[in-house]
């Protein structure tokens, strides 16, 4: 059910966005560039709007956003439900899953941190 709701929401957003790009191309360009400023996409002079702007609200864009949102569903934890078997990357760059680190009935402790 969640995947269907996400499909409907993303498809609606893409259709509305594509329609606005056709009807108001300059306004949408300004809007997309403003969004690009937040992610600092505009800072690379070799990566101009003409390279990436028209890809917004395309069919490939729709598929990519759906893939990301559906993948995030698998990574969410809910109180009282089993934990997700989220993929993690080891120091060696190997992709494993959380449950790969479990040993017998011992609890699995995750310690998150950052280094700068």
- The kind and range of the H/E element at 40 are none
Structure tokens at 78: 């809910």
The residue ranges of every structural domain in the chain are 1-75
pLDDT (mean) for 88-116 = 84
Q: Which residues pair with 95 in a beta bridge?
A: 89
Whole-number Å distance between alpha carbons of 49 and 43: 11
Distance, in Å, from the CA atom of 103 to the CA atom of 44, rounded to the nearest integer, reads: 47
* DSSP one-letter string for 3-32: HHHHHHHHHHHHHHHHHHHHH-HHHHHHHH
Report whether 49 contacts 43 (CB < 8 A). Answer: no
Write down the pLDDT at residue 63.
93
* pLDDT 10s digits, 42-99: 677 777 778 778 888 899 999 999 988 888 877 777 788 888 888 888 888 898 988 8
Q: Tell which wins on pLDDT, 33 or 27.
A: 27
Q: Which residue has the higher pLDDT, 97 or 36?
A: 97
Quick one: pLDDT at residue 116?
Answer: 61
């Amino acid at each position: 059910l969640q995947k269907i709701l996400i499909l409907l929401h993303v498809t609606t957003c893409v259709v509305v966005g594509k329609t606005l790009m056709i009807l108001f191309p300059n306004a949408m360009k300004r809007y997309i560039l403003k969004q690009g400023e937040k992610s600092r996409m505009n800072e690379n002079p070799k990566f101009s709007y003409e390279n990436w702007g028209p890809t917004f609200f395309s069919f490939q864009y729709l598929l990519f956003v759906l893939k990301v949102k559906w993948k995030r569903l698998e990574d969410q934890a809910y109180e009282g439900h089993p934990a997700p078997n989220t993929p993690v990357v080891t120091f060696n760059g190997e992709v494993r899953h959380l449950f790969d680190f479990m040993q017998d009935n011992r609890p699995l402790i995750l310690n998150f941190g950052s280094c700068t």
